[in-house]
Amino acid sequence: MYIVSLSYVRPMEEVEALLAPHIQWLDRYFAAKVFIVAGRKDPRTGGHGWYRAGKRYRPIAAG
């Protein structure tokens, strides 16, 4: 299992403009059972995610 912690490096207005396609991207990997859990940090400075490890699952770049 991989545990990922992300921090925003762009202004919140830019982050919010990309949330809808980002959520679609997350949903695709949840449906494929790659992602286990994901969520926002509080305060809203980034997010966390857990995903499966192994030969079949490798770290992927956000698109």
Q: What does the pLDDT look like over 2-56, one tens digit per residue?
A: 899 999 999 999 999 999 999 999 999 899 888 999 999 999 999 999 988 766 6
> What would the two tokens of residue 30 be?
């949840």
Distance between terminal CA atoms of the chain? 21
Q: What is the pTM of this model?
A: 0.74
What is the Cα 44 distance to its own chain's centre?
14
According to DSSP, the β-strands at 35-40 and 2-7 are unpaired
pLDDT bracket for residue 60 (50, 70, 90):
low
pLDDT at residue 57 above 90? no
Residue with token string 């956000």: 62
